[in-house]
Structure 1
Amino acid sequence: MSARDAAGGAAAAGPRVVIVGAGIVGCALADELTARGWTDVTVLEQGPLPAPGGSTSHAPGLVFRTSPSRTLTAFARYTVEKFGSLDVDGVPCFDPVGGLELATTPARLADLHRRAGLAASWGVHGEVVSAARCKELWPLIDESAVLGGFHTPDDGLARALPAARAQLARAEGRGARFLERHTVTGIERAGGRVTGVVTDRGVFPADHVVSAAGFWGPVIGRMAGVDVPLQPLAHQYARTEPLPGLAGATAEASRPILRFQDRDLYFREHTDRLGIGSYAHRPLPVDPFAVPGYDEARAGGLRMPSSLPFTEEDWAPSWEDCRRLMPALRGSAIEEGFNGVFSFTPDGMPLLGEARTLRGFWLAEAVWVTHSAGAARAVAEWMVDGRPELDVHECDLTRFEDAQRSPAYVRDRGAQQFVEVYDVLHPLQPMEQPRPLRVSPFHARQQELGAYFLEGGGWERPHWYEANAPLAADLDLPGRDAWSALHWSPVAAAEARMTRERVALYDMTPLRRLEVTGPGALGFLHGMTTNNLRKKPGAVTYTLLLDRTGGIRSDLTVARLGPDRFQVGANSPADLDWLVRHAPDGVTVRDITSGTCCVGVWGPLARALVQPLTRDDFSHEGFGYFRAKETYVGHVPVTALRLSYVGELGWELYTSADLGLRLWDTLWEAGAEHGVIAAGRSAFNSLRLEKGYRAWGVDMTDEHDPYEAGVGFAVRLDKGDFVGREALRLRGAPRRRLTPLLLDDPGAVVLGKEPVYVDGVPAGYVTSAAYGYTVGRCVAYAWLPVLAAGTGVSVEYFGEKVGATVADEPLFDPTMSRIRC
C-alpha cells in the first residue's frame, strides 16, 4: 500500500498535518498539536530516529531564559517548565543547575545590571552577584579576573535528544506517527494551497505542512516556492580531557551553565570534563543546499550532517582565553571538537507562521533548543486556534521586506548576528551592512544637512541633523549617562523645540502605505476595522485591526480618497498579509510604499509655509483635522492628510517617489523665511510621547485590547459587525493599563523594557520612553495594574531605582488647541 493510501485510509481527528523534521522543534510541535486534538500528524525525518543528525543531535542544551525579547523569554520559560516535567527512563529532560554570566569589564558588569532588569520585567528570577560569589558557584575561575556576575538559579541544561524522544512518545500515544529515513523531494500544491509532501518513499497528502527542518529550511522552502531567510553557520564546540578539579564527579553537571561573554565563550560540565562553545571565531557560513544527508555524511567521515570538522586555527585564540579565565585548564588539552551547524536569521529571531504565498505551508524555523517548546506551542496555537496567545510579531515570517530577502542580505545579516551573539548591544544600535539599502528621495538633502542615520526595515532613517547643532547651543539640558547618550544628541532637543515653536520637515517615507480599491473596498475595510469608515471621500479615520479575540493586530490611518479608493497607513508586512488574506473578490490590496514618499510638515507655522504653495484652501475651515485632499504643492501633485503625530498643526504630504526631491526642495525653499528645519525621529519620538500617541508593536500588540491600551476611542461597537467585536463586547473592565509615567528627577532617563515596581514589587515594564523636552521630564509608558494619577512607582535602570509618578494624559496640549487651529 502506498504512503498516499495509508495516509488517507485511517480516520483521525483534525486536518492532515505533515511536519518536515523530527528534531526538537518537530517533536515538540507534534506533541503540542496532538494535545490540542489534531492527531492526524505525520512527522517525516530524513535521518534515523531518535538522533537524526540535525542541530538537535549536537546541541549543548544551555537554557538562559533572559533576553531583550519578551517573546523569546516567554518561549524559554515554557521550555524550562515543559522539559522539567519530562523524563526518559527516569532521567529528567531538564537539569536546573542555574546560569551564571560573568563580567570582566565595567561595560559588561553594567550590562548585567541591565539584564537583571530585563529578567525582572519578564518574570525571571535573577540577581547580580559579586566576584566572590561567582567563585563560589564556579571554583575553577580566576576570581581576580571577574568583576561580578548575573546568576539565574532556575536556568539550566536541556537534554535535547531525550526531550525530543519524550515528546515524540507522547505524540505517538495520541496518534501521531514518526517516519524515519524519509527524504522530502517535493511539496505538492494546487490553487495557492499546499496539498502534500513528496518523499523518496511515497507521497503524503496534507492540509498543512510545517517546515521544522532546521538549517535545511531553505531547501524545503524552495520546494514550496517560499523564501526562508535563514543562514546556517558553523559554531565551534569542544570538550576537554578529564580535569582534576572535576575528578570524582558523578552527575552530568552540578555547577551553573557559564557564559564568558566578554570573550564570546560558554561552558558546561560533562561529568569530569568541560564542554566549551565559542562565537569568537570568524563567521563560517554553510550552504544548506550542500549539506549532505545522514548516510552521505557518515560515508564522508562525519558523525552527522550538522557536525563539521573542527578548525583548529579558529579555536586557538579562544583556548587561550579559556585558560586565562580558568587556570586549571593550563595543564589540560582539548580531547575532541567539532563545528556544529546552527540557524541564524537577519535579525536573530525565529521564523514562525504561515507563508503568504502558499496557504497551509508553515515555518517553525531558526528555533534553538532554548526556545523550542515555547515556539512549538505558539505555532500549534496559531494553527489550531487561529492565533498564538503570546505576541509573536517579532517572529512572524512576514516581518521581512522584499529588500531583506535576497540571499546576499540574509547571508550578510546572518553572519553579523553570529558575530554579535554575545555583544553588548544598545536598543538603537543599527546593523552595519548592507547599508545604505533603502533611502527616501530626500536622502541627498539629508546627507547635506549632516543627518545621523539609524536603520529600520532596511530604510535609512535620520535621527537628527548636525546642521541644527547651533540651535542646541543655548539649551540647558540635564547630563546623560553613557548608555542613554549612545545614538542621541542634544540636537534632538533643539529640533523638538523648533517643531513646537516654528515648523519642521520630517521624512515619513518609511511608514507603510497600502492602497485598497474596488467596488467592495468600503465594506471590506469597514468590517475589518473598529471605527466607522462610512464617511464621505476626503475623510481620514484612525482605526484598529483586531483579531477575533479583540487583540490589537495593528493600528491604521485610513484615508478615503474616492468612493472605492482608500490609502491606508499601516505598520508591517503582516498587515498587508492580513488584509490580502481576507480581501474578497473584486477588492485589491496593494503595497505602494516603495513607489511613494512622504514629508510631514508640522509646527505652528506649517500653514504659513504650505498655503502659498497651493491654490486649495488650507485654512482650518477649508481643510479640517483628519481630512484629506488631492492637490498640488508647487509643481508637485500630492495627497495631503491633515494629521499630526507630534501634537502640532500640520500635514502629511504624499507624492510619487520620482517627485519626492522636488517636493522637499519646494517646501525647504518656501520655509526659509519661516525658519524651517529638518527634524529627525529622535525629536519625533519625544513629541509623540508627550501627546500619548501609541506605537504598535512597542506599546501595544495583539496581547492587548483597545480599552486597556488607551485607544478605545477608535472603537465603535454600534457600527455593526467587525473582526473582534464580539470579544470586546464580552470583556470586563481592564485589570491593567498602558500607563503614562513622568520620572521625578528631571535628569533621569530610561529607554524601554525596564521593570516598574509598585510598593517595592515588580508589577510591569516600560514600553516606550524618551525625554520630553517640552515638559522637562522623561516620559515613559508602561504596562501596569490600574493605578490612579499621582501614584508613586519606581523604575529600575541599571540596578538603581528611579522614582516616577503616574500622570494624566496627554501630557501636552490636552485640549488639542494646537492641532485644531
Structure 2
Amino acid sequence: MAGPRVVIIGAGVVGAALADELSLRGWTGITVVDQGPVPVTGGSSSHAPGLVFQANPSKTMTELARYTVEKLAALDVDGEPCFLQVGGLELATTPERLTDLRRRHGWLTSWGVEGRLVDPDGCVALHPLVDRDRILGGLLVPTDGLAKSVLAVEAQLRDARARGVRVLDRHQVLDVRTEADDTTGTDRVTAVVTDHGEIPADVVVCCAGIWGPKVAGMAGMRLPLTPLAHQLAWTGPVPALAGQTVEAVRPVLRHQEADLYYRECFDRLGIGSYGHRPMPVPADDIAPPDSSPRMPSVLPFTADDFTDAWAETRSLLPATRDAKIEEGINGLFSFTTDGMPLLGESPDVKGFWVAEAVWVTHSAGVGRAMAEWLVDGHCSSFDLHACDVNRFEPHQLAPAYVLARSCRNFAEVYDILHPLQPAGAPRPLRTSPFHVRQRELGAVFLEAAGWERPQWYDANEPLLERWDIPAPGEWAARMWSPVVGAEALATRQGVALYDMSALKRLEVSGRGAAAFLQRLTTSDVDKPVGSVTYTLMLDEGGGIRSDVTVARLARHRFQIGANGNLDLDWLTRHLPDDGSVTVRDVTAGTCCIGLWGPKAREVLQPLADADFSNEGLPYFRARSAHIGAVPVTALRLSYVGELGWELYTTADTGLKLWDTLWEAARPHGGVAAGRGAFNSLRLEKGYRSFGTDMGHEHDPYEAGLGFAVKPGKGDFIGRAALERRAADVRRRLTCLTIDDPAAVVMGKEPVYDGDRPVGHVTSAAYGYTVGKGIAYAWLPARLATPGRALHIGYFDRRIAAVVAAEPLFDPRMRRLRGLPQDAR
C-alpha cells in the first residue's frame, strides 16, 4: 500500500513518531520537513527535560503515555537508550496533597498502570536526597522515567528512513498551497512550499509544535495554542551525587505542592518550575533556527522568577544547599485552553491535519493514533474525542480566550482540581435569556462550553425543611449543596424548570436531509413529521461518536439535539456534494426549558393553544405551539425520567417563556432546578452521557444502547464493523448502587472484584429518590450480573457496591408516558 503523498511539517518527537508509525503501516510517499537541523531541530523536543509521568485523570492521555513508554523503552541509538526507566515519584508535603495522591493512585489503577503509595521512609529509600521531615508520603510509578527526546527523534526517523521516508532538514516552510475542489466546493491541500522549492502533497500534517499556529495559519486554520516559557535550571555538582557515572538512577521527582520537578543528570540536578508568572510568546515572534546562537525555543533565564523555586528546593532537598544554580533556560512549550492536545483534520481544508500541543510524554502514542486515523479513517487504539481539534466552539478560538485559558492552564498544571471546578476568566461568556432570573434566584453557576449553567439555586433552601438530605463526604461535598437533593425530590413530586440552553441544537434541512441522516445514524429517523428519535452516530469502526435526538419538524427539516461541536463537524464532513442538505448551528439564536415533573401538564396545558395530553402529544413526539404569547417547539421527552417537555423558542422570547412558565408553576410548588439535581435524576433513570459514560472506544451493545440500533433500516456508517463487534461483547456499562449515603464517588475510581481491579467508574451521584449512591462503571461482561458484590476504590477506602438491574427508577416507563404511577 503506497498511500497518498504525505508531508509532515516538524521533525520533533511527534513528527518523527508519526513518520515511523505511518511507514510501519505501509505508506511510502512520506516526506518530513523541518526548518532546523535533524535531530536537534530547535523546537521544544530539543530542550525538553523528558519527564514521563503516566498518571492523568484522562484515560486517553494515560494510554498515550503508556504506549510512549513502551515504545521508547524498546528503542536505542547505537546502544544508547531512548528511555531511562527510573520510575516517577510524586511527593506530598501537605495532608491535602497526600489525599490527592490517593486519588491519582486510583486513576492509575483504573487505567491499568502499576503504581503504589509509599510512606515517608519509603520515599527516602527511593530518593535519599529528600528531607524525611518534610514529606508525608509519595506515589511511585515504576514504569515512569526520562525520555531522551533527541535520541527518540533520531531512532524513529532512522527506522522511518529505512522504510523509504524522506527527511529534509533546514527546509523552512513558507506556505501551504491549496486549491478549490470543484466537486465538493471546498479547498484541499496540494503542496508545501519551502525555501528550497515545492513538495507536492495530498496530506499535510502540522507537527510544528510552538510554531503550529503560524503553520496552521498558512492553511487558513486558527489553532488555539499558546507557547509559554517554562523555567528549567541546572545545578552545579551536588556533593551527594559525586561519582555517579550513570545519568539517572533515582526516580524523577515531582513536588507538585510547590510546582516543581527534579531529574538527575550524573552529579547534577535539573529543576523545573511552573510556579512563576505565565510568560506567553506569540508564535509569530519565535525566530527560526540559525537566527541566533541559542535555539529559538530557548529564551534567556529570568533568575528573579526562580528565587522561590530555589529556596523551596534547598528546603526539600538539603543536599542542594552545597550546590549552586549554574545555568538555566526559559524553554517554550505548547499550552491549550483545556490542557488537551490538538489532533485532527482542518474543518475547511481537506487533507490538512494537525498533531499539536503534544509533549514528549504522549508523543509516540499520538504518532500511533494519528497513523491509525489517517490510514484507517478512525483510531482504534485510543478514544480521541477529547483531543479532536474540532471540539471547540467559535468563542473558544478567540485570541483573548485562548491566551487567558492557556495561561490559566499553565498556572494550574500541578494544582489539585476538583472534577466540577469551573474554569476562570473570561466569564461569563455565554448566558441564556433566563440568566437574569437565575441570578435573582441565587443560582450557583458552573460552566459548560462557555455557558453559565446553574448547579443549584440558593432560593430553594426553604425546601430543606421538607426533606432530610444526606451529606456526602468532604470531596463530593465541594461544589455541592443539600439544595441539590431538595431540587431533585421537588422535581419527582411536583414540577421544575431546567435551563437546557447549553444543549447544542443543529438544524438539518433540504430535500436530501432524511436520506443523509439515515446514513449517519443507527436508528430509523425517516418517520412521519412530528416524530422524535433517540439514535447514535458511529465511526467506521463501530465506535460511538455521539448520541443524539432527531426531531422531524417538517418533511425536509430536522432538529438535532447534539453533544457539541464535534457533532456539527461530523455532519458537515459527510454532507453530500450535490447541495441537497444544509446543516446549521442554531444554538445561539434559540433557548430551551425543560419542564418536568408529575405536575408538568397542570402547568403547561392551561397556557397552551394545543393539546398536550397523552393522546394529543404522545411520548417522543414533537409539535409547534404557543405557550402564552411565545411560539415554541415542544418535544415530549425527558432526560430526568418524568412527564414533561423540552420547550424551544428563539432567544428574544426566551425570557418571556421563563416568566410565563414560572408564574404558572409557582401555585403548583414549581421550582427552578440545576444541573446537580439533573445528574442525580438521569442516573436514577439510567440515561447515559456521551463523553463521560461512553465514547469512541465503546460500541452500542457494550454501552447498553443496542435498542438504538435498527439493522433493518439499511446501511449506515459503522454498520459492518458493529455487526462484527456485536458477536463478542466482553465488557458492559453497569449500574452499581452504594448503601452508605456518605460514600458518594465522583467518577474515574477503580472497581475491584476482591483484590483485583476490574473496571472504573464513569458517572456517579446520590440518588435522592431511590435512597442510594449510584455509580455507573465499565466492567467485564461476566461481572455485570445484578446482585454481584464489588468494591469501589475511593481515596484510601474500599466502598461496598452491588451490581443493580437498571433503571433504578420507573422501570416500566409509566411516569414518562404519563400513565398511572408505580407506588414509588
Identify the range of structure 1 (53-62 vs 192-201) with the bigger mean alpha-carbon deviation.
192-201
Partner of 1:804: 801
Partner of 1:6: none
Partner of 1:9: none
Partner of 1:228: 223
CA distance in 1, matches of 2:214, 2:448: 28
Partner of 1:139: 128
User: Which residues of 2 match residues 4-15 of structure 1 at below 5 A?
Assistant: 13-15=2-4
CA distance in 1, matches of 2:104, 2:723: 39
Partner of 1:3: none
1:819 equivalent in alignment to 2:819: no
Partner of 1:666: 660
Shift of 1:759: 2.8
Matching residue within 245, 261, 268 for 2:240: 245
Matching residue within 519, 526, 541 for 1:534: 526
The letter of the residue matching 1:126 is G
CA distance in 2, matches of 1:399, 1:546: 17
Partner of 1:328: 319
1:312 equivalent in alignment to 2:306: no
**Is the 2:741–2:766 contact (alpha carbons within 8 Å) kept by the matching residues of 1?**
no
Matching residue within 401, 404, 427 for 2:393: 401
1:776 equivalent in alignment to 2:771: yes
Q: How big is each residue's C-alpha offset from its partner over 1:130-171, in whole Å with a ceiling of 9 and x where there is no partner?
A: 011111111111110100000111111111000110000011
CA distance in 2, matches of 1:520, 1:224: 31
Matching residue within 17, 23, 43 for 1:34: 23
Shift of 1:364: 0.3
User: Which residues of 2 match residues 346-425 of structure 1 at below 5 A?
Assistant: 346-389=337-380, 390-425=382-417
**Is the 2:234–2:271 contact (alpha carbons within 8 Å) kept by the matching residues of 1?**
yes
Shift of 1:287: 1.1
**Is the 2:470–2:482 contact (alpha carbons within 8 Å) kept by the matching residues of 1?**
no
For the residue of structure 1 that corresponds to 2:410, the secondary structure is helix
1:48 equivalent in alignment to 2:37: yes
CA distance in 1, matches of 2:540, 2:405: 35
**TM-score of the two chains, using structure 2 as the length reference:** 0.97
Q: How big is each residue's C-alpha offset from its partner over 1:454-479, in whole Å with a ceiling of 9 and x where there is no partner?
A: 11211111000000011124432333
For the residue of structure 2 that corresponds to 1:485, the secondary structure is coil
The letter of the residue matching 2:154 is R
Shift of 1:489: 0.7
Partner of 2:5: 16
Shift of 1:297: 2.8
CA distance in 2, matches of 1:743, 1:671: 34
Q: How big is each residue's C-alpha offset from its partner over 1:55-75, in whole Å with a ceiling of 9 and x where there is no partner?
A: 000000000001001010000
User: Which residues of 2 match residues 749-764 of structure 1 at below 5 A?
Assistant: 749-764=744-759
Matching residue within 77, 94, 113 for 1:88: 77
1:57 equivalent in alignment to 2:50: no
**Is the 1:551–1:724 contact (alpha carbons within 8 Å) kept by the matching residues of 2?**
yes
**Is the 2:642–2:816 contact (alpha carbons within 8 Å) kept by the matching residues of 1?**
yes
Q: Which runs of 4 or more aligned residues in structure 1 lie more than 4 Å from their structure 2 counterparts after TM superposition?
A: none
Matching residue within 787, 791, 794 for 2:791: 794
Shift of 1:309: 0.2
CA distance in 1, matches of 2:61, 2:785: 32
User: Which residues of 2 match residues 617-696 of structure 1 at below 5 A?
Assistant: 617-696=611-690
Q: Percent identity?
A: 62
User: Which residues of 2 match residues 488-567 of structure 1 at below 5 A?
Assistant: 488-567=480-559
CA distance in 1, matches of 2:728, 2:788: 20
Partner of 1:588: 582
1:463 equivalent in alignment to 2:455: yes
Q: Which ranges of structure 2 fall in alignment gaps of 5 or more residues?
A: 181-186, 819-824
Q: How big is each residue's C-alpha offset from its partner over 1:431-464, in whole Å with a ceiling of 9 and x where there is no partner?
A: 1110001111111111111111111211111000
Matching residue within 429, 436, 443 for 1:437: 429
**Is the 2:473–2:742 contact (alpha carbons within 8 Å) kept by the matching residues of 1?**
no
**Is the 2:472–2:741 contact (alpha carbons within 8 Å) kept by the matching residues of 1?**
no
Over the aligned positions, Cα root-mean-square deviation in angstroms equals: 0.9
For the residue of structure 1 that corresponds to 2:284, the secondary structure is helix
Partner of 1:153: 142
**TM-score of the two chains, using structure 1 as the length reference:** 0.97
For the residue of structure 1 that corresponds to 2:349, the secondary structure is coil
**Is the 1:117–1:799 contact (alpha carbons within 8 Å) kept by the matching residues of 2?**
no
**Is the 2:469–2:486 contact (alpha carbons within 8 Å) kept by the matching residues of 1?**
no
Q: How big is each residue's C-alpha offset from its partner over 1:788-819, in whole Å with a ceiling of 9 and x where there is no partner?
A: 11000100000211010000000000011111
Partner of 1:197: 192
CA distance in 1, matches of 2:771, 2:592: 30
User: Which residues of 2 match residues 175-324 of structure 1 at below 5 A?
Assistant: 175-191=164-180, 192-298=187-293, 303-324=294-315
Shift of 1:296: 1.1
Shift of 1:188: 0.6
The letter of the residue matching 2:570 is W
Q: How big is each residue's C-alpha offset from its partner over 1:225-261, in whole Å with a ceiling of 9 and x where there is no partner?
A: 0010000100000000101100010000000000000
For the residue of structure 1 that corresponds to 2:350, the secondary structure is coil
User: Which residues of 2 match residues 334-349 of structure 1 at below 5 A?
Assistant: 334-349=325-340
The letter of the residue matching 2:378 is R
User: Which residues of 2 match residues 99-118 of structure 1 at below 5 A?
Assistant: 99-118=88-107
The letter of the residue matching 1:487 is M
CA distance in 1, matches of 2:364, 2:431: 39
The letter of the residue matching 1:338 is I
CA distance in 2, matches of 1:454, 1:781: 23
**Is the 1:530–1:545 contact (alpha carbons within 8 Å) kept by the matching residues of 2?**
yes
CA distance in 1, matches of 2:344, 2:292: 31
The letter of the residue matching 1:279 is Y
CA distance in 1, matches of 2:701, 2:170: 52
For the residue of structure 2 that corresponds to 1:795, the secondary structure is strand
CA distance in 1, matches of 2:652, 2:223: 32
Q: Which ranges of structure 1 fall in alignment gaps of 5 or more residues?
A: 1-11
CA distance in 2, matches of 1:65, 1:175: 33
Q: How big is each residue's C-alpha offset from its partner over 1:760-801, in whole Å with a ceiling of 9 and x where there is no partner?
A: 201110000011111111100000012211000100000211
The letter of the residue matching 1:304 is M
Q: How big is each residue's C-alpha offset from its partner over 1:507-542, in whole Å with a ceiling of 9 and x where there is no partner?
A: 000101100000010111012111111211000000
1:168 equivalent in alignment to 2:167: no
The letter of the residue matching 1:819 is L
For the residue of structure 1 that corresponds to 2:292, the secondary structure is helix
Partner of 1:698: 692
The letter of the residue matching 1:672 is R
For the residue of structure 2 that corresponds to 1:296, the secondary structure is coil
**Is the 2:110–2:759 contact (alpha carbons within 8 Å) kept by the matching residues of 1?**
yes
Q: How big is each residue's C-alpha offset from its partner over 1:405-455, in whole Å with a ceiling of 9 and x where there is no partner?
A: 011100000000000010000011111110001111111111111111111
Partner of 2:112: 123
The letter of the residue matching 1:149 is G
Shift of 1:695: 0.3
Q: How big is each residue's C-alpha offset from its partner over 1:319-362, in whole Å with a ceiling of 9 and x where there is no partner?
A: 10101101112232101001000000000000000111111110
The letter of the residue matching 1:53 is G
Matching residue within 608, 614, 617 for 2:608: 614
**Is the 1:116–1:799 contact (alpha carbons within 8 Å) kept by the matching residues of 2?**
no
**Is the 1:747–1:777 contact (alpha carbons within 8 Å) kept by the matching residues of 2?**
no
For the residue of structure 1 that corresponds to 2:476, the secondary structure is helix
CA distance in 1, matches of 2:229, 2:426: 22
CA distance in 2, matches of 1:484, 1:533: 40
CA distance in 2, matches of 1:103, 1:811: 40
Identify the range of structure 1 (489-498 vs 527-536) with the bigger mean alpha-carbon deviation.
527-536
Partner of 1:7: none
